Structure 1
Amino acid sequence: MARPPALAGRFYAGDAAQLAHDVDAALAQATVVQAPAADTPPKVLVLPHAGHVYSGGMAAQGYALLRPHLQRIRKIVILGPTHRMSVQGVALPGVGSFATPLGSVEVDSLAAHAVADLPFVVSLPQAHAQEHCLEVHLPFIQRLWAGQDMPRVLPLLVGAVSPEDVARLLARIWGGDDTLILISTDLSHFHPYEQARQMDLATCAQVLALGVGLNHQQACGATPLNAALLQARTRGLQVQQLGYCNSGDTAGNTPEGRQRVVGYASFALYEHAAPSAANGLDAQAGAQLVQLARHGLHRATAAEPVPAPEVVALSAPGASFVTLTQAGQLRGCIGSLQAHRALHDDVLANAQAAALQDPRFAPVTAQEAPTLAVEVSVLTAPEPLPFANESHALWQLQPHVHGVIFSCEHQGRAYRSTFLPQVWAQLPDPRKFMAQLKRKAGLPADHWSDAVRLSVYRVQKFTEADHAA
């Protein structure tokens, strides 16, 4: 099911062309505050949710920060307060998509299933049906990603629940740098202009100090905001204020309007930049590894000899996979998941094994060897992936980035398999990716148990085409 737009023509323009124009104009006029690190996207945005004529410009201050990171951000979790219906706990939308005049935004079903087992989480479509605090943000997301693959969005309504419980939920779906957390909240409501301004500036100072304990007179979304601040303190996030105004500064800028204003502020919270996952291999080293793999392939199959390159600089322990393809079709793939010998020895051995010992294929012949394409993948050390349930595990996987190791003890037997990140090109859906990974291990596609363990790794991939270029 799709949730139809409830606020089109009221909180924002009901005409698609006008809505696109309004949102684009707000984004173009936004003043971009310099991030702590140029290549680091915000992890959390705190943005207002009134009608676009009132708070759209302030919301755009946060959304404008995302422009350099649109390819990186693939998941957005939006949390806002309930205004129209009493809710005990946190309400899932219970629908497949949210519609606006600009089209539909897909609900992240994996994320929804990942948190559905928390005792305070309920599925309540009726709470979402007329709620504005989430819907007003969707046109900004749609315009930012216009013409590109949209990120998956999980809209959550926060009712009567403790900030600590909401913080538990956030911890579960915090994700990596592909995940953005959006807290939707306005500040004080319906005070005279100057009084509201003083109240709001004190609230902003408390947010900047990561001070939890905000109440609902300070911010209607105090509960999710307090939860985000709890996570920010735990994780050492850095917070920046992007701007402040109230309705008396925007569409309510009249003597009457300034008697009862609503406050709006935008904040961006940043994680400290993670150390680079690069393993330090440059293009020259990659070319040497590919030539070494070609040398091993030809030596193993008694094909026309290919000289081995000088590989003294590649003697540190390393783990690699060597993949052989024929006209784009797999012809052999063997590798190591853990570094247990010098990288050049590992590549040479795996090239020979891919040619002769892959049980899925007949051994490569001397006539075939020169026609095969050679690819070398150098792996980072695998890292365990903690998860609460299968959906949570799948949600955390980053397509085209993570290689995955699956292992499981079942009926006294050990099962194990892996897919390189390159496999995402054939299996881009995490559910299908995992199903085939389980099949590769020798288990049914729907198998799951408490004995399942997952690890992830990344690769540097080198091909002969790269070397030629």
Structure 2
Amino acid sequence: MSHPPPHVRPAAVAGMFYPGSSSVLARDLRDLLNDSRPAQGRRPKAVIVPHAGYIYSGPIAASVYAPIAALRESVRRVVLLGPTHRVAVDGLAFPASTAFATPLGVVPVDAQALALIEALPQVVVSDAAHALEHSLEVQLPFLQTVLDEFTLVPLAVGRASPAEVAEVLECLWGGDETLIVISSDLSHYLPYRVARETDADTARRIVALDARIDHQQACGATPVNGLLLAARRHGLRAQLVDLRNSGDTAGDRSRVVGYGAFAFTAESAHDH
């Protein structure tokens, strides 16, 4: 019996949020990652990264992705959660697609991971939730650049509670082979000075693992809060790696979008 060709979700925002040409994209990513100040520290289990166009949030995302290149040999699965912007969905949507394409190639979706979570009532299967969604897609070229072969667990997060997100993360937590990536921007369309204050306050809350972030503070508040609950349960420590906004990178300062990069690491026994 012949198998149908794999059902691949094509790139929806190549040429808009990031370059559509593979060579230009590879060059831009190389530049962003090389320009990034390398963060010293322990191996991240999870990160929070922004998801705007690369000219706006690329440098902030690169600050947390550059050190992940050190995990190239061990990370084999990326659990990627981001908010839905285009299609409303109840729960966390897994795609029916078997792979996601970007100009840099194709990333296989982890079917075994779905088997771990499909019985949870908050997990649904929806290609519609993923078809036009940029919050997950813009992370893929970074991941394809800093990691070797890996499978993807893409979850578009709609109406769900932080506890429901944390429950899904718990099922997928794994060991050193699994990296958790939460895609979220911070404040939206505030004046520059106000945004800086607002985002600094949000960053303090995230570092304190205070899972009461609202959607005014972060568009991905639901997956962010879910990660914060899980991080607390697993004794992770959060570190702010970079905090800027579009007024710092490529936009005017009258209405800006905030971007934060955070790394979550395990407290190791010999720290005490």
Given the two structures, how large is their TM-score scaled by the length of structure 2? 0.95
C-alpha deviations, 1:315-354, integer Å up to 9, x for none? xxxxxxxxxxxxxxxxxxxxxxxxxxxxxxxxxxxxxxxx
1:54-453 counterparts in 2 under 5 A?
54-145=56-147, 148=148, 150-252=149-251, 257-273=252-268
Which amino acid in structure 2 is aligned with residue 270 of structure 1? T
Distance 2:167 2:80 in 1: 15
Distance 2:238 2:39 in 1: 12
C-alpha deviations, 1:130-170, integer Å up to 9, x for none? 0000000110111123xx4x111111011001100111111
Instruction: Find the partner of 1:32 among 35, 38, 57.
Output: 38
Distance 1:199 1:58 in 2: 17
State the match for 1:13 in structure 2.
19
C-alpha deviations, 1:350-370, integer Å up to 9, x for none? xxxxxxxxxxxxxxxxxxxxx
SS for the counterpart of 2:44 is coil
Distance 1:266 1:47 in 2: 5
C-alpha deviations, 1:34-67, integer Å up to 9, x for none? 11x4xxx200100000011100110011111112
Structure 1 residue 274 displacement after superposition: 6.9
State the match for 2:3 in structure 1.
none
Q: 1:176 to 1:274 in 2, by over 3 A?
A: farther
Distance 2:268 2:79 in 1: 21
Distance 1:162 1:66 in 2: 29
Structure 1 residue 272 displacement after superposition: 2.6
Which amino acid in structure 2 is aligned with residue 57 of structure 1? P
Structure 1 residue 188 displacement after superposition: 0.3
SS for the counterpart of 1:266 is strand
Structure 1 residue 114 displacement after superposition: 1.3
SS for the counterpart of 2:64 is helix
Extract structure 1 runs of 4+ deviating beyond 2 A. Answer: 272-275
**Which one has the largest radius of gyration?**
1
Given the two structures, how large is their TM-score scaled by the length of structure 1? 0.55
Identity of aligned residues (%): 48
Distance 2:90 2:69 in 1: 36
C-alpha deviations, 1:79-130, integer Å up to 9, x for none? 0000001110000011011111111111111112211110011000011000
Distance 2:200 2:146 in 1: 30
Which amino acid in structure 1 is aligned with residue 159 of structure 2? A
Which amino acid in structure 2 is aligned with residue 240 of structure 1? Q
Distance 2:216 2:52 in 1: 16
SS for the counterpart of 1:105 is strand
Runs (5+) with no aligned partner, structure 1: 276-469
Distance 1:51 1:220 in 2: 15
Distance 1:188 1:49 in 2: 13
Runs (5+) with no aligned partner, structure 2: 1-6
Structure 1 residue 26 displacement after superposition: 0.5
Distance 1:74 1:153 in 2: 9
C-alpha deviations, 1:260-317, integer Å up to 9, x for none? 1100010000013379xxxxxxxxxxxxxxxxxxxxxxxxxxxxxxxxxxxxxxxxxx
Q: How many residues align?
A: 264
